[in-house]
Amino acid sequence: MINMIRLKKHGNFYLFPMPRLRIATFNLENLDDRPGEKPTLAERINVMRPQLMRLDADILCLQEVNGQEVPGQTRQLLALQQLLADTPYQDFYQVSTTTADLKQVFNERNLVTLSRFEILESKQYKHQFAPAPFYRAVTATPLEVAKEISWERPILHVRVKVTEEHVLDVINVHLKSKLPTPVAGQKINNFTWKSASGWAEGFFISSMKRVGQALETRILIDQLFDANESAWITVCGDFNAEADEVPMEAIRGDLENTANAQLIQRVMVLCENTIPKPARYSLFHRGHGKMLDHVLVSRSLLTYYQGAEIHNELLHDESLAFATDQLFPESDHAPVVAKFNIPDFNTLPASASQQ
């Protein structure tokens, strides 16, 4: 879709195209293809492919994309290939997270970024900017020595050539969930804790991981701003945190927190803020809507912002006993999309561009 903008100078009007840009994020919730598993991949594709088509995204950040193995081959995103088949996304540029040796994707919860525009380069980061902290569990039995607390997923960063004039830095993240991290000797089974103290410490460790990932993301953002104070940056993904929680505040860098006016151009803006609060949620849990999936943009990109959408009309409450994956084969998360009109200044007549 191409919008038109009209400029006037000395009684003359100039029409030139305003290329639209739709940036979306979607947690696919363990997209996989396992024999005998219910719901089947075909059943999931039947309800999820229309969701992707409705997004009509130019840049799409996906989370929880599992890898599949074929004998004699490296692990690949075969389930994703089937989901994207017969859609425009099958021809998009595609980058995903990989194992440390760069030879194959992870078994579970890969990040994938798809782009209609050319991807110039890609990198992933894990403990490159924020080393894993050491922590000694206080409720573990038997007592343990201090161990590194490492987060499970890297950050995926790609640079996209949106116009001849502008490159967009796209950062795809999936921060640690709020599920407590197991503590040695503190669990009876996968669902039952021996003590409230053990649960609290597991929750604390997960919080450390989530905030650590947010810190690493913010350091990456600041490095991009160091190189270009007017950089076009977007951070998309499942943050497992609402807007006013510490991980989100760390990534946003609001002036209310830094109290430094020199950092005003480095604030990251939540696109969802233009959506009325009653409709501002991407997940239902225990009867309450939670906004855990976000699209943030730099102020320079906000100049061209047109609005946001959260496709949450059919979200179910994932915490209810009957809300099984077989009954609800779609994702528990709603996709989020931010819309922009991006001027390509190369299309302007010389006289108009000098207005």
Write out pLDDT tens, residues 6-50. 444 445 554 545 678 999 999 999 999 998 889 999 999 999 999
Closest CA to 317 of 307, 327, 306: 327
Element (DSSP H or E) covering residue 193: strand 192-193
**Amino acid in position 252:** R
In 10 A of CB 285, how many CB atoms?
A: 15
The predicted pLDDT at position 10 comes to 46
Contact of 323 with 143, CB cutoff 8 Å: no
The predicted pLDDT at position 6 comes to 46
Quote the DSSP letter at residue 176.
Answer: P
- The token pair that represents 337 in the structure block: 């999309």
What domains, with CATH codes, occur in the chain? Answer: 19-347 (3.60.10.10)
Cα(239)–Cα(176) distance, integer angstroms: 8
Q: Does the N-terminal peptide bond of residue 39 adopt cis geometry, omega within 30 degrees of 0?
A: yes
Cα(239)–Cα(160) distance, integer angstroms: 22
Cα(26)–Cα(63) distance, integer angstroms: 6
Reported pTM: 0.91
Contact of 233 with 268, CB cutoff 8 Å: yes
The predicted pLDDT at position 307 comes to 97
- The token pair that represents 311 in the structure block: 């496709």
Cα(214)–Cα(81) distance, integer angstroms: 30
Closest CA to 212 of 180, 241, 249, 175: 175
Burial class (CB in 10 A: 0-12, 13-18, 19+), 355: exposed
The predicted pLDDT at position 101 comes to 87
Question: End-to-end distance of the chain based on CA atoms, in angstroms?
Answer: 26
Cα(142)–Cα(135) distance, integer angstroms: 15
Q: What are the mean pLDDT values of the chain's consecutive 10-residue runs (355 residues total)?
A: 45 58 97 92 97 98 96 94 97 96 93 98 97 96 94 97 94 96 95 96 97 98 97 98 98 97 97 97 92 98 97 90 81 97 60 36
Contact of 272 with 310, CB cutoff 8 Å: yes
The predicted pLDDT at position 142 comes to 93
Cα 230 versus chain centre, distance: 22
